[in-house]
């Protein structure tokens, strides 16, 4: 087996008496989509935050490309090549769609300390931003103010900004939420080919998407990974059926 690109080792995080992350060790291999599923409140977003930065684990370590990144800031992790999308869209709402994508391209290019040349006339950044918007199908909305986008369109813009970063691994927190059936099918097809560019750690509630995409699935319940395996293995796992899928079928 190849060396994992991303690896967590024994992560623990407690909020008071609540163990939000309980001894989580997982890996992300090059070229794969590793889906993280679990009922609401299982600690999926808490886990993503610890990996992307912004929330320090109580104990445990995170390795990215062999380097221990546990002590690094969010900014440094982004620079190292972790491309994150947020569960609740984190975009500059006053900006146009294109400006948001330009911001990502600017971060990737690292040419922010320039004070006189108009950024929107920078052909290279503009090209990178436009290209990312085209890939997610937002090119037609480039001049639209971000605040005017629908919820689903914002999710796509999140993905587009992550694309401009040319990350080495994606961390996606519910990119399908609010997309509707057509939208999530289109994004599913897109992520399917994106995995060859960089592996994706995918938190998602859309089970059709998860089972269609994931090379491996980890099931998180009360902060603990109760099972990891292929779609077929997870479907067959008795513990998982009881904890998670069973509930959904019953609902």
Partner 1 sequence: MSRTGLINLALFAMLPLTAGAALMLDEPFIITLATKVAILALAGVGLNIALGLGGLVSLGHAAFFGIGGYAMGILASHAQSFVPLMETPFLIEGTRSMPVIWLVAVIAGALAALAIGALSLRTTGVYFIMITLAFGQMLYYFAISWPAYGGEDGLSIYVRNGFPGLNTLDPIQFFGIAFVILALALWGAGRLAASPFGLALSAARQNEARVETVGLSPYRLRLLAFVISGAVTALAGALFADLNRFVSPTMLSWQMSGEIMIFIILGGVGRLYGPVAGAALFILLEHVLGGLSDFWHVYLGLLLLLVVLFARGGIIGALAGREVAHD
Q: Interface with partner 1 by CB under 8 A: which residues?
A: 52-54, 73-75, 78-79, 84, 86, 90-96, 98-100, 102-104, 106-108, 110-120, 122, 125, 142-145, 161, 164-165
Q: Which helix (H) or strand (E) holds 68?
A: strand 67-68
When the beta carbons of 157 and 225 are compared against partner 1, the nearer one is 157
> In whole angstroms, what is the distance from residue 128 CA to residue 44 CA?
31
Work out how close the CB of 107 gets to partner 1 at its nearest, in angstroms, rounded to a whole number. 3
When the beta carbons of 100 and 188 are compared against partner 1, the nearer one is 100
Q: Which residues contact 99 (CB under 8 A, 6 or more apart)?
A: 92, 120, 146
Work out how close the CB of 122 gets to partner 1 at its nearest, in angstroms, rounded to a whole number. 7
> Tokens for 51?
């990996």
Work out how close the CB of 75 gets to partner 1 at its nearest, in angstroms, rounded to a whole number. 5
Work out how close the CB of 219 gets to partner 1 at its nearest, in angstroms, rounded to a whole number. 27
When the beta carbons of 17 and 116 are compared against partner 1, the nearer one is 116
> In whole angstroms, what is the distance from residue 101 CA to residue 125 CA?
9
When the beta carbons of 37 and 163 are compared against partner 1, the nearer one is 163
Work out how close the CB of 144 gets to partner 1 at its nearest, in angstroms, rounded to a whole number. 7
> Tokens for 238?
């008795």
When the beta carbons of 142 and 219 are compared against partner 1, the nearer one is 142
**Best CA proximity match to 24, nearest among 3, 43, 40:** 43
* Distances in whole angstroms, Cα of residue 142 to Cα of each of 92, 129, 131, 160, 216: 14, 9, 11, 11, 35
When the beta carbons of 84 and 216 are compared against partner 1, the nearer one is 84
**Pure H helices in 110-226:** 123-136, 151-164, 180-194, 207-213
Burial class (CB in 10 A: 0-12, 13-18, 19+), 79: middle
Work out how close the CB of 114 gets to partner 1 at its nearest, in angstroms, rounded to a whole number. 5
């Amino acid at each position: 087996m190849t060396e994992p690109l991303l690896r967590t080792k024994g992560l623990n995080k407690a909020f008071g008496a609540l163990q939000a992350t309980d001894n989580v060790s997982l890996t992300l291999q090059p070229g794969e989509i590793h889906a993280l599923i679990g009922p609401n409140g299982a600690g999926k977003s808490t886990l993503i935050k610890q990996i992307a930065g912004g929330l320090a684990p109580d104990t445990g370590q995170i390795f990215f490309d062999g380097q221990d990144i546990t002590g690094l800031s969010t900014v440094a992790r982004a620079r190292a090549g972790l491309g994150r999308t947020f569960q609740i869209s984190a975009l500059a709402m006053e900006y146009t769609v294109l400006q948001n994508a330009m911001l990502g391209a600017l971060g990737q290019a690292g040419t922010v300390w320039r004070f006189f040349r108009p950024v929107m006339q920078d052909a290279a950044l503009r090209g990178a931003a436009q290209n990312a918007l085209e890939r997610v199908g937002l090119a037609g909305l480039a001049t639209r103010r971000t605040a005017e986008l629908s919820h689903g369109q914002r999710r796509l813009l999140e993905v587009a900004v992550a694309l401009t970063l040319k990350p080495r691994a994606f961390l996606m927190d519910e990119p399908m939420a609010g997309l509707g059936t057509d939208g999530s099918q289109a994004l599913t097809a897109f992520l399917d080919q994106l995995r060859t560019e960089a592996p994706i750690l995918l938190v998602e509630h859309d089970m059709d998407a998860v089972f269609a995409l994931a090379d491996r699935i980890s099931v998180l319940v009360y902060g603990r990974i109760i099972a990891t395996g292929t779609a077929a293995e997870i479907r067959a796992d008795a513990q998982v059926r009881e904890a998670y899928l069973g509930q959904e079928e019953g609902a």
